[in-house]
Amino acid sequence: MNAYVFPGQGAQYSGMGKDLYDYSKDNQTLFHTANDILGFEITKIMFEGSDEALKQTNVTQPAIFLHSVILAKSLGNRFNPNMAAGHSLGEFSALVACGAMSYEDGLKLVSKRANAMQKACEAEPSTMAAVLGMEDKDVEEICEQIEGVVVPANYNSPGQLVISGSIPAVEQACEELKAAGAKRALLLPVGGAFHSPLMEPARAELEAAINETLIQTPICPIYQNVVAKGITDPETIKQNLIAQLTASVRWTQTMHQMIADGASILIEVGPGKVLQGLIKKVDRAFETENAAFG
């Protein structure tokens, strides 16, 4: 069974999407529509901008969404998922690619999400840290003992978990995790505490927009970050999308569940190969590939 997966923030690179733009007139129309919806020329930043310009959250998230969704559309009949998932932001790409919401509505939500997250980051200084070489349950236990906000945010693969929260709490957690045997516990160069309770203002802002968006039954189950299970019911999809901003990305659990449900190949749709690398940490022999158009 084909499992299609869509990357999240961090997969961007300068020049991304130019090959897709040049591929067809339909793709050019999609990119121009995005410029109109966003109110700025994201195509110029994607195709010609610096890495620094692409790092701005209000640019990064729509850019990765556009690359992933337009790539999926470029595959035509070769896009044939039996199941799909997206890492954080990538969940929106998966939902659009699999027909649960329109391209325009998906892009509007992604833009609103990025701006709301940026505002939440500016309202309260916060950060994230990568923890390597430690069992998930041990990381969870140490986070629970720290005073202040620090929670598991991204369960990326076995032995790789990202924590998120206020700066003092995350720094203290890193010290205690290293003392408890973590190979590494290092702060990440991010703008704030994504997938933590500190994103509550962004979640509240996004909730109304999601509730007003038409979501339909996708062409295959979408394995959502919050529950790590395949979902097709539109109302449940909405509730999980709303919860996603303040809840953990359960990617390790998602990959285990996809394999248990019969996935035989993982096809990454979007920039980079991050998600292919993560599944190799679950099963080194698992077949993976990048989606290729043309």
Residue numbers annotated as active site: 88, 195
Q: What's the CA gap between 243 and 204, in Å, rounded?
A: 10
Number of H helices, E strands in the chain: 13, 10
- The CA distances from residue 109 to 63, 117, 194, 208, in Å, are 13, 12, 17, 10
Q: What is the torsional sign of CA 55, 56, 57, 61?
A: negative
Is 217:166 a contact under the CB 8 Å cutoff?
no
End-to-end CA distance of the chain: 23
Decide: helix, strand or coil at residue 87. Answer: coil
Tokens of 214: 């038409």
Return the half-sphere exposure (C-beta side, CA atoms, 13 A cut-off) of residue 34. 30
Report the DSSP beta bridge partners of residue 162. 130, 154
